[in-house]
Structures are given as C-alpha cells and as structure tokens.
Chains A and B, each alone.
Chain A
Amino acid sequence: MADRNLFELQQVRFAYGETEVLRGITVAFPPARFYGIVGPNGCGKTTLLDLLIGSRRPLEGSVRLDGQEVSGCSRRTLAQRLALVPQDYGIRFAFTVEEIVLMGRHPYLPRFGSPGARDFQMVEEAMAEIGIVHLKARCINELSGGEQQRVVVARALAQQTPVLLLDEATSSLDIQYTLEIFQALRQRVRTRGHTVIAVMHNLNLAAAYCDEVLLMKGGRIVQAGPTAEVLNPAGIREVFNVESAVYFDEFSRSLQVSFRYGE
C-alpha cells in the first residue's frame, strides 16, 4: 500500500489582521504516527491546529485531509474524523462529567435523536480509559483543573475518531496522569493505527512518546522529521535559545533532553 498522507499542507499562510502568524508552511503527516509540535509561546502552534481542524481557513495555500480541502468539508464530517482537546476548556455551565463526555457523541447523533446504548458504552469506555468513571455524576465546575482536563480528554476519546489533536492537553496534570494519558494515546497509535498530533511544551515527553517532531518558530517550521533527528542541541538552541544536551537514557529507555541552568 502506498504511504498516503493523512494531512497535507501546501504553502500555508495565516494572519490575524496585520499580524502574520503562519507563513510558508509545507508539511505532510502520514497516518498512524504520534506527532509532537514543539516551539516557543506564540509561534503559531495553536493556529496550526485550528487550520487542521477547520476552525480557521488559511489565507493562502491549502490544507488537505485525505486529499480533500478541509475548508470544503462540513464540520460534522470533520468531527467524525478529528477530535480536539483544546487548551481553553473553561466550561461555564454546571453539566455533569457524563454529560460532557456524551457530547463527544454529538457528531454521530441525528438532530432530534437521543444517544443509544452504544453511545453510552463508548462514553463509559472513554471514562474508564482515562480513569474518571468515579467522577461521572459530578458537576464539571466542582472539579479541579486537572480533573476537568481529563474529562475533556475523555470527551475526545468518546468521539472515536482516527485522528486526535491535542493542544497542551496535560498542562494541568500531575506526572502520573500525564504518563497515563500519553500511554493511552500511544496505545491507540500502535494498536489501532490512530494518528495523534500533540502541541507540547515538555521536550522530554515529546522525546519519549513522539515518532516525529515539528520544531516551530516565528510562524515557520524550522525542522520536521523523526524525533531522534529533530531533537538535537542545535535545533533546540535555534528555537528556544537555550543550551541543552540530548542523550539516550537507560532508565527511561528513551531520548532525554537536559538543560544548562543558570548559576
């Protein structure tokens, strides 16, 4: 089978008013891999996800999903293929955890239809996978930031899409839950051939879990490719302006990045 691309971006440019956020983005994402998007604050990572999910249209260039222009697809069609865990998940009304996760089934329900037994089963499985079944009757706004973040991850899993996009999805989580979620995501890539594209700040998590990494700076992709090739001291210096060492760590059995701290 030819290695077709899931996403293909060609010469994409995007700007908010006068401020150019992305320029000359040309990159392809073959399926069934775990991608990390890494770069300093304000370098256009979240906007790139917005373009992939079809929330925004590129001003120039094209964003294609399986050969189809994303901006030409209906949101419902896209939502059956792509799920997003956004960075801003503030939920203002007192929905229960189960109600929020059930919203992940929205793309599949007819307008006046109610979720069926299969939908509830998927919701239950997603909650079990993220370990939040015990929270299911609780109000979302009674939960801690980390718990809310896990609820939103479970909602994305309940969407049962072959592609998962995450925007800093574990920023409020402690190390145990962070590892659990990344483990679950990697499992989906390995066993079900799903594709994960995650914006992340933690370079060691990127080194441990990603098959490929995109390094971004100033609205451009500086480097993209297999993690071991892209995560190197020169690239990290160019993007983040810090000194680092990258080495294979025996204990974690993965690449690790360490930094030179000031005096």
Chain B
Amino acid sequence: MSSPSGTYGRYLLLVILLSAAVAGLLILSTGLGYVKIGAGDILRILAAKLSGDPGYLAGVEEVMPFVVYEVRLPRILTAVLVGGALAVCGVIYQGILLNPLADPYTLGISSGAAFGASLALIANLTMLGQVSVPLFAFAGAVATLLVVLRLSSFNGQVSANTLILSGVIVGAILAAGISFMKYLADEQVGVIIFWLMGSFASRSWSDVVVVGAGLLLGMGVFSYYARDLNIISLGSRSSDSLGVETGRVRMILLVAASLVAAVCVSVSGIIGFIGLIVPHLMRFLVGPDNRRLLPVSMLAGALLLLAADTFTRAVLPVEVPIGVLTALIGGPFFCVIFRRRQKGLGHG
C-alpha cells in the first residue's frame, strides 16, 4: 500500500498544474463577458499597464484597456483571492477543531458578518460611504469571534467541542436577529438577501488589495505554524508532550484564520463550501500534512471560485449569486466524494 502523501515530485507537479490552471483561467475569464476579448489583446493590455509603455496597445480597441483593467480584473482577482483565502482558512479550522466537517464559518463568523451588514443596510448607514457595509460586516464578524471565544473558554483553556458548540449557538441567535431585520426591512429586504448570497459584482482594486493583504499575512502565519498544526491534530496531550505550545498556537491560528475569513465575507458576502470541500479534495491528493496542504488548497480554492464566478458572470444567461452557485454545485459534489471515500474505507 503506497503512502497517501505521495512523492515530492507528484506534489510539485500538482502545484505547477494548479498554478498554470489558475493563470490560464484568469486570462480566459478576463476575455469572457458581454464584450469578448482575445487572449493576445489581454496580454498586450497587461504588458502596457505593467511596463507603462502604451506601444503595446497598438491595434487594441480603445475601450478594451478600461474593460480589462477597471471592470473585469478587480472582480476576477477578488474572486481568486477570496477562493484561496477561504480554502486555507478551511484547512486551519479543520486542523484546529479536529473536525473534517469544520469550515471558516463554523464559529459563526459568517452570521456575525451578515448581522453587521444587515444592520448597516437596514439602517441605511452610509456615513462611511461605500465601505460602510463591509466595515459593519467585519466588525460583526470580529465581535462574534470574541463572544464565541469568551463563551468557550474555561479555566483559560479552549476545547474544540466547546468552540463548535458556542459557534453554533451564537450563529443561531444571530440568524434569528437577521430574520427579524429582514422582516422589518420591507422593500429593503432584497438588498439584504442579495448581500447574504454573496457576489463579486463591481469589486474594485481596493477590494483586491484588502483581501490580498489578508491572504498574504494569513499564509505567513499559517505556514509558520504548519508543522505545529500537524502535531496539534494528534490531540492536545500528545502535542504538549511533543514540544508544541498547544494552547497558544491554537489561539493564534484560530484568530488569524477568523480574521482572514472575516475580511473575505466582508468583501464578498457569504460563499459556502469552498472552505469545506477544497481542503477535503486536496487531502485526498497530497495527504494530511499541512505544509503541503496549505499551498495546494490555496491554488485549488482560487481556481474553483474563479471558475464558479466566471460561469455565473459570463456563461449563464442570468447571473446567479455566487454563494448559491457554490452551494448548488459544491453540495452534491461533496456528497459524491464523501460516499466514495467511505466506501473506499470499507464503511459503505
């Protein structure tokens, strides 16, 4: 029986293939939409932008650079970054909570963000301009995290089970609050529902920068503690005795992953299943070692969410909210691999 972790060569090949697929889809997706643009034109526009030399734009229609650079790329890059970020947050959550069913929303981050955003939408809070709703969403997510951590710590220790339970309880209370706000909202209800379902429509470069910075910082922290996280998955007694400061590392990773997830939700709304399904799929391919799992999950999450967003934006006749699409495709897909996996283990 061969090792599920495979060889290093196979792993590298997977990283290269996924990177190439992300790059390829990025260019393909930029070309798709109401106005079709060829790959050559896109590369020329990018070259002109990066080098500052307008000579590259010879033969490209005048409106195209604007479409590529100001309309499509911010949206596409936001989708790529959010996909990657949600997937790595899923890896961290599953590792810390010792639960393969955990995802970035298990601790109620999404409900908190949704509550904050709904509040801003219903009260028509626009004093901070366009960023009001994302800021309220982020504040809601962080406040929820603090409440959940406070609820689940006993004697200064936080256990996986109490965390999950506290997350579920707080999430349920917030969900009731959101329902009540929808009830009060009258004609505004559509705006709330639209936000809850997630969307990348009309994202700007500032969104790209915010999510990009979050993902970069998050990946730094996650990679630093990746081997510790492997050992934490053996249970806290084992990891203590193997030299890991279990409590401290767990808290750092939990807070870092939650903040990254909160940034994602604030920017894009609630997009499910990426954080659950991608870590699973990648674990089948590269094994459970987080040092390998994190990079490939980031790439696969980026690829999957960009594919879904491109599909809804440019292929479907009507744009379906991205959160709905990921759940509609991700859910059944997850059921299939889950059944197959269980059969493979002899539980079928």
Which residues of A approach B to under 8 Å, CB–CB? 16-17, 50, 53-55, 74-76, 78-80, 82-84, 86, 88-96, 98-100, 103-104, 106-107, 109, 111, 137-139, 142, 152, 159, 165
Contacts and interface: CB of A to CB of B under 8 A. Distances in A.
A54 B240 CA distance: 8
B150 interface: no
Nearest to B235: A88
Nearest to B290: A93
A126 to B, nearest CB: 14
From B234, B283, B289, residue with most partner A Cβ within 10 Å? B234
Contacts of A95: 230, 287-289
Contacts, number: 95
Contact of B98 (A55, A92, A104): A92
B241 A84 contact: yes
Given A93-B288, A103-B231, A53 B5 contact: no
B70 interface: no
B227 A82 contact: no
Contacts of A142: 345
Contacts of B345: 142
Given A75-B244, A93-B283, A93-B288, A111 B224 contact: yes
A47 B100 CA distance: 29
Given A88-B235, A93-B100, 13 more contacts: A54-B240, A55-B237, A55-B240, A84-B238, A89-B234, A92-B99, A95-B288, A96-B3, A99-B289, A104-B242, A109-B227, A137-B2, A152-B238
Nearest to A84: B241
Nearest to B346: A142
Given A79-B242, A83-B241, A84-B241, A90 B288 contact: no
B341 to A, nearest CB: 10
From B227, B238, B345, residue with most partner A Cβ within 10 Å? B238
| 4 nearest A-B residue pairs (beta carbon) | A79-B243, A84-B241, A93-B288, A107-B243
Interface in B281-334: 283, 287-289
B288 A94 contact: yes
Nearest to B2: A137
A106 B227 contact: yes
Contacts of A83: 241
B155 A96 contact: no
From B3, B236, B243, B245, residue with most partner A Cβ within 10 Å? B243
Contacts of B244: 75, 106
Nearest to B287: A94
Interface string B33-58: 00000000000000000000000000
B240 A93 contact: no
A166 to B, nearest CB: 11
B1 interface: yes
Contacts of A82: 241
From A80, A92, A98, A152, residue with most partner B Cβ within 10 Å? A92
Nearest to A137: B3
Contact of A137 (B1, B155, B224, B235): B1
Contacts of B188: none
Contacts of B224: 111
A158 to B, nearest CB: 10
Contacts of B236: 55
A75 B243 contact: yes
